Amino acid sequence: MASHRRPKQPTRARVTVLTATAAAAVALASQSAQAAPAKPSKDEVKAKVDALYEEAEKATEKANGAKEQQDKLQKQIGELQDKVARGQGELNEMRNALGSLASAQYRSGGVDTSIQLLLSADPDEYLDKAAVLDQLSAKQVESVQKIQAKQRALAQQRAQAAGKLKDLADTRKELSEKKAAVQAKLAEAQKLLNTLTAAERAKLDQEEGRANRSGASRPDLGNVKPSGRAGAALAAAQTKLGSAYISGAEGPNAFDCSGLTQWAYKQAGVGISRTTWTQANEGTRIPISQLQPGDLVFFYSDLHHVGLYAGNGMTLHASNPRGGVKYEKISYMSPQFGVRI
């Protein structure tokens, strides 16, 4: 007679092992289905890096504006402090003169009580009490009034200096924040570039057509010869082909975009301001169709980039950390208008 045995039930330990095995299989299947994202192509990296460079340049121009404001405030504070120092010296001389008058009165028989008050430990409080002026001689009245006026002027100058010092502290904080934003964008861009192989980076540089100091890569700039101070500015900038782009740099060995244009015009004997937004208001605005070599060319709707028109549809500009100072077609960068200095 056949034996009928009940199938052996799996133990708890066996169930645990089977469950773990099944879970591992599911995890492996899931990992296979969700493969690691593909490495970005050279063109994708270039597009992302270019976008980061633009964001960094916007922050750079804001930092340049903060730096310009900081320099202006420091100059104003220095002038105010000089005025206060000179004014305090004049005030001391006035008080000494009034003290001499009091001494003369003492030698001649006594000092007017109002003069005694004036020369006391707290003469400033006394000076506010104009009612006593009728006790003084005409000469003394004039001296006291001059001292009062000088004190008011000094108080106002000190208040102005204090306000400027606060503005300076705020501007320095803003400048620090803008610089940090620039460095963060540039670091992110460099991280992306580091994902490229050496061959890919070489190909990217070749496509960019980076200019060099010798001018061997100089493009066809047409037949229009630059002249005057615009021509002199362009000629100066051309000597910097291949120079590095560094945020905030003003030359002579490295530049950012507005730093190059400011430096170039300075070599031509013309002073212009530091940022793209202020340079856009320096001279006469002209349409792109009327550009002449040496004119400033402003790019993008927010005007965060500037270069020098070089002729034949080309600009000479401090492009970005990868390209440095080079020639480039203005059509690559959304030109807005030109400015003739």
Tell me: pLDDT of 36 over 70.
Answer: no
Distance CA 9, CA 62 (A): 75
Q: Give residue 227's pLDDT.
A: 83
Q: Give residue 341's pLDDT.
A: 94
Tell me: pLDDT of 56 over 80.
Answer: yes
Distance CA 176, CA 180 (A): 6
Asked if residues 267 and 326 have their Cβ atoms less than 8 Å apart, the reply is no
Q: Give residue 41's pLDDT.
A: 82
Q: Give residue 37's pLDDT.
A: 62
Q: What's the Cα-to-Cα distance from 122 to each of 87, 125, 132, rounded to whole Å? A: 19, 6, 15
* Same-domain status, 67 and 180: yes
Tell me: pLDDT of 110 over 60.
Answer: no
Which residues are designated catalytic? 257, 305, 317
Asked if residues 53 and 189 have their Cβ atoms less than 8 Å apart, the reply is yes
Q: Give residue 84's pLDDT.
A: 81
* Same-domain status, 154 and 219: no
Whichever domain contains 331, its CATH number is 3.90.1720.10
Asked if residues 258 and 308 have their Cβ atoms less than 8 Å apart, the reply is no
Q: Give residue 146's pLDDT.
A: 76
* 94 in a structural domain: yes
* Same-domain status, 320 and 253: yes
Q: How many CA atoms lie within 13 A of 187 on its CB side?
A: 6
Q: Which residue has the tokens 């001649």?
A: 108
Distance CA 283, CA 280 (A): 7
What is the edge-to-edge ordering of all strands in the sheet holding 296-299? Answer: 284-286, 335-340, 296-299, 305-311, 314-318, 325-329
The model's confidence at residue 107, banded by pLDDT at 50, 70 and 90, is low
* 28 in a structural domain: no
Q: What is the mean pLDDT of residues 320-339?
A: 94
* 198 in a structural domain: no
Report H helices in the chain.
12-33, 42-107, 113-118, 123-127, 138-193, 198-208, 228-238, 257-267, 276-279
Q: Give residue 220's pLDDT.
A: 85
Q: What is the mean pLDDT of residues 165-185?
A: 83
* 295 in a structural domain: yes
Q: What is the mean pLDDT of residues 163-168?
A: 81
Q: How far is CA 107 from the centre of its chain?
A: 65
* Same-domain status, 55 and 180: yes
* Same-domain status, 161 and 213: no
Domain boundary among 130, 160, 193: 193
Average pLDDT, the chain: 79
* pLDDT tens column, 176-222: 888 888 888 888 888 888 888 888 888 887 777 654 434 445 788 88
* Same-domain status, 167 and 272: no
* 2 in a structural domain: no
Q: Give residue 286's pLDDT.
A: 96
* Same-domain status, 239 and 155: no
Q: Give residue 9's pLDDT.
A: 54
Tell me which of 264 and 143 has the higher pLDDT: 264
Tell me: pLDDT of 33 over 60.
Answer: no
**Least confident range of 35-39, 158-162, 193-197:** 35-39
Tell me: pLDDT of 230 over 80.
Answer: yes
Pairing of strands 284-286, 254-255: unpaired
Distance CA 154, CA 136 (A): 24
The pTM (predicted TM-score) of the whole model is 0.63
* Same-domain status, 173 and 220: no
User: How many residues would you count in the chain?
Assistant: 341
Q: What is the mean pLDDT of residues 126-137?
A: 51
Pairing of strands 284-286, 335-340: antiparallel
**Least confident range of 106-115, 150-159, 267-276, 320-329:** 106-115
* Same-domain status, 68 and 179: yes
What is the span of the domain harbouring residue 264? 209-340
Domain boundary among 193, 226, 252: 193
* 294 in a structural domain: yes
**Least confident range of 22-36, 40-54, 180-194, 201-215:** 22-36
End-to-end CA distance of the chain: 115
* pLDDT tens column, 285-316: 999 999 999 999 999 999 999 999 999 999 99
- For the chain, the domain total comes to 2
* Same-domain status, 85 and 219: no
Kindly compute the dihedral angle of the four CA atoms of residues 182, 188, 192, 194, in this order, to the nearest 10 degrees: 90
Whichever domain contains 84, its CATH number is 1.10.287
Closest CA to 192 of 298, 40, 72: 40
**Least confident range of 10-19, 152-161, 259-268:** 10-19
Domain boundary among 193, 226, 259: 193
Tell me: pLDDT of 153 over 60.
Answer: yes
* Same-domain status, 251 and 187: no
* Same-domain status, 155 and 220: no
Written as one letter, the residue type at 72 is K
Tell me the Cα Rg of the chain.
37
